[in-house]
Amino acid sequence: MTVQPAPRPATDPSPPAAPDFGSLVREDRVHTSLYTDPRIFATEMDKIFANTWVWVAHASEIPAPGNFKTAHVGTQPVIVTRAPDGRVHVLLNRCRHRAGSVCEQRAGKASVFVCPYHGWSYDLTGRLRGVPHASGYDASFDKKDFPLVNLRVEEYAGLIFATLRADIQPLEAHLGRACKWIDLFMKQGAGFPIKAGGAHRFRFRGNWKIQLENTTDAYHFPIVHRSFLTSLDGETEKVFDVLGQGGWVEDLGNGHSVMVMIPDLVDLEHNLEAPIPERFQALADELALEHPPEQVRRIVRAVGGSGFNVNIFPNIACSMAFFRVLRPVAVDETEITHMVITMDGGPPAANRARLRLHEHFQGPMGFGSPDDAEGWERVQRGAAAGTDLWVMLNRGKERDVSAETGMRAAYQMWRRMMMA
Amino acid sequence: MSGVRRYARAATAATSVAGISLQEATQFIWLEADLLDSQDYMAWLALWTGEGRYVIPVDRAGDDHADRLNVVYDDRAMREARVQRLQSGLSMSASPSARTVRTVSRFRVLREHKDGTHLRCAQHLVEYKYDRTRMLAADVTYRLVRAEAQAGTGIAIHEKVVRLINSDDALFGMGYLL
């Protein structure tokens, strides 16, 4: 017997009503659909990533006029350039003629970006310079009408942010109480300028907010990273006992938060008289050959990074010793960049130590990151079940480092922006 | 590197003077590939010289790995710590890890020495976990040295550099060795 398939409707049924975003976020929980619903993801790109300050670069990545890097604002590709006058421009990476991307390099030096399709060329500020065979356009055609789209750009402490909005508050006001923590974080240059010195990139099959939560989640650390902790000597293992040192989490407003795991390493310019940890003694001895004792102490105290993560909503964290950047790719795919921090012009031995410490935990084969990525994929896989259930964020009280305070702060900002 | 727990050491293999033929080198590298796919990591650790360096750079160009960020930059202590971690049962990305099958081919000797060889080859690795199969391709260079103390092979790895074709792009967590 053959079964006839049901006749297809002449037109697709009308899409279900848009989710009621306000009802999906409560004080202590968020709805599972925030990880899984493609309509929510599309709205996030519009209501969040196109509506606030999004981190695009560290100033050291484009140190001189002509330097550029490519980045994303949400899912939109951009080019971050330093123009001849030293100013930073963030340009949509899309030719104004027929939409070809004008730059496919991760970073480099250039004076002009040329669309490979019909040869329209743009300078570092986005101005349209050349149009081949311009006689084919009528007299009303004016190159001034077709620059690469410039985003608004502001910088704080070397962190370069861009926004598609001309009318939102200045960056520093948006960062607010996070500024103090960013300033503390930058002390790990130990007197040298901070340099973003290379990066690990990896993707996981999961929603971007799973990563957003993770940088303010101390609770997972001793569980997920047991194999990292086991690889450490006893003294270093104590340093990474993140739940046992009286740390805390603070809501800093606008979705930002700070998680202090090692209170002793909040201010790297304090307590310089503390004894040099055994794990850094060989480095200290090497530095002592060329640097005065006070500078050796300052560098060694800073070399392992800060004792906290400051999470800036929606896409950057200054995380202990590195910058963590998240890029939403799809509702169930996210790209993470972990940028190592070095001291620009600092002692090579100390910078090598920073590189090796970063490699130890971070990256696709680090002793920590692959387990994080696996955990996040397990969240996305699990979220396919119990679609009416909630993701719980009700852990913790005042002054508890494993409290889910930072996640609650981020989701309240999410709610505010999605309902605006 | 500072901070890494040191594990008990095997005796350092002594080197001697006798070249390594391409056929010997190829058989040795296939043995290594088989040990890695079967996750016989203790046997793999014994293939190295005491000073051997295992590198997976982020940047395919250049040889100054020490002053750049790498995916892996392992001396002996880090290799041992890495194997310890993968076999500890405490790492969810390695317990179980993805299954892997790799082939190594396109061997080309770059330089022969009186006590060893420097060669380059191509590696294709396919991994599978959950419902996903993925491929990683790499150029791999080896510095192999004659090492009489090495049981069975008489060869040891002095340097292995794995340059993934997408090393500077987004990768993914790997709970195994390349």
Set of chain B residues whose Cβ sits within 8 Å of the Cβ of A200 = 58, 69, 71, 171
- pLDDT band for position B11 (50/70/90)? very low
- Per-residue pLDDT reduced to its tens digit, A143-180: 999 999 999 999 999 999 999 999 999 999 999 999 99
- In whole angstroms, give the CA distance from residue B171 to residue B167: 7
Supply the pTM of this predicted model: 0.93
Q: β-strands B48-57, B155-164: how paired?
A: parallel
The beta-carbon neighbor of A370 closest among B2, B4, B173 is B173
In angstroms, what CA-CA distances link A136 with A133, A139, A141, A211, B149? 6, 10, 10, 50, 77
- Per-residue pLDDT reduced to its tens digit, A105-135: 999 999 999 999 999 999 999 999 999 999 9
DSSP state of A82: E
Set of chain B residues whose Cβ sits within 8 Å of the Cβ of A238 = none
Q: What is the ipTM of this complex?
A: 0.92
Residue B10: what pLDDT?
A: 43
Task: Determine contact: A349 vs chain B, CB below 8 A.
Answer: no
- In whole angstroms, give the CA distance from residue A305 to residue A320: 5
- pLDDT band for position B115 (50/70/90)? confident
- In whole angstroms, give the CA distance from residue A110 to residue A66: 5
- Per-residue pLDDT reduced to its tens digit, B45-84: 999 999 999 999 999 999 999 999 999 999 999 999 999 9
Confidence check: pLDDT of B18 > 80: no
> Which whole number is the average pLDDT over B117-126?
97
Contact state of B5 with A232 under an 8 Å Cβ cutoff: yes
CB within 8 Å of A293: residues ≥ 6 apart = none
- pLDDT band for position B4 (50/70/90)? low
Task: Determine contact: A124 vs chain B, CB below 8 A.
Answer: no
- B14: which 2 tokens? 């002594």
- pLDDT band for position B8 (50/70/90)? very low
CB within 8 Å of B77: residues ≥ 6 apart = B1, B4, B6, B7
As a three-state string, the secondary structure of B21-49 is: CHHHHHHHHHHHHHHHHCCCHHHHHCCEE
Phi first, then psi, for residue B22 (nearest 5°) are -60, -40
- In whole angstroms, give the CA distance from residue B119 to residue B15: 18
Confidence check: pLDDT of B14 > 50: no
- A337: which 2 tokens? 């960049």
Number of other residues whose CB lies within 10 A of the CB of residue A226: 17
- Tell me which residues of chain A have a pLDDT lower than 70: 1-17
Contact state of A355 with B73 under an 8 Å Cβ cutoff: yes
Residue A397: what pLDDT?
A: 75
